[in-house]
């Protein structure tokens, strides 16, 4: 029986997609031999920031790019970020029923907390594992295992919900059921190739999967 629900943050419960793309476009403008486009950025979203900047810029030293990215990201955060439909009501229902909720993200803690607070989700979350808390980010299972340890649960009691193949692979490697979300910018068909246990088109579809179906009135 499911006791723990782990969520990725960006692109899964908090819609930061446009903020991320604009942050990359801003920090990479004039910094690469060829312009970096939205079409190139989107399929590569989901990795830790330093890895993405190295990939997009072709540099090993990305400190100045990271500073530009984070300055733009922080100053534009609240105007470009919102939760996905029905996320708040679903997390509230999971919390009401006593399921433990955790976040496993490749973001830093500061912006993770900003997103959760802005969307009114922080009160439902009992554990947060960020890129700063692990030595190996997703798709390595370290973050999921750390969240389970913090929440006092086992892989058999947990599910992981995410919008990226990194989330699906990390869940599979941790022995946790993987749930993909079709609103991923990478698309349903792409995520399905990684064989998640479930795909959902609406966050409310998560409730029956974890045994938290809302009774009809």
Give the residue numbers marked as catalytic: 8
Residues in the chain: 217
Which two tokens mark 129?
């594992």
- Euclidean distance between CA atoms 145 and 125, whole angstroms: 16
Q: Which residue has the tokens 């490749």?
A: 106
Three-state secondary structure call for residue 159:
strand
Nearest CA-CA partner of 206 in 125, 92, 103: 92
Nearest CA-CA partner of 9 in 93, 92, 83: 83
- The torsion angle over the Cα atoms of residues 191, 118, 210 and 214, rounded to 10 degrees, is -120
Q: Which residues of 177-203 are buried (b: 16+ CB within 10 A; e: fewer)?
A: bbbbbebbbbeeeebeebebeebbeeb
Terminal C-alpha separation, the chain? 25
- Euclidean distance between CA atoms 41 and 23, whole angstroms: 11
């Amino acid at each position: 029986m499911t006791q723990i629900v782990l969520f990725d943050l960006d692109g899964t419960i908090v819609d930061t997609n446009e903020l991320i793309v604009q942050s990359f476009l801003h920090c990479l403008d004039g910094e690469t031999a060829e312009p970096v486009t939205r079409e190139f950025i989107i399929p590569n979203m989901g990795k830790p920031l330093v890895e993405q900047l190295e990939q997009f810029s072709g540099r090993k030293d990305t400190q100045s790019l990271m500073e530009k990215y984070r300055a733009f990201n922080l100053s534009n955060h609240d105007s470009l970020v919102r939760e996905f439909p029905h996320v708040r009501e679903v997390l509230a229902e999971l919390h009401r029923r006593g399921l433990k909720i955790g976040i496993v993200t490749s973001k830093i803690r500061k912006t993770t907390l900003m997103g959760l607070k802005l969307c009114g989700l922080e009160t439902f979350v009992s554990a947060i594992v960020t890129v700063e808390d692990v030595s190996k980010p997703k798709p390595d299972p370290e973050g999921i295992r750390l969240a389970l340890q913090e929440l006092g649960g086992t892989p058999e009691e947990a599910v992981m919900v995410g919008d990226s193949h990194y989330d699906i692979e990390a869940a599979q490697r941790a022995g946790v059921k993987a749930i993909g979300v079709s609103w991923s910018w990478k698309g349903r068909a792409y995520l399905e190739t990684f064989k998640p246990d479930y795909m959902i088109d609406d966050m409310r579809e998560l409730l029956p999967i974890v045994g938290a179906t809302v009774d009809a009135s």
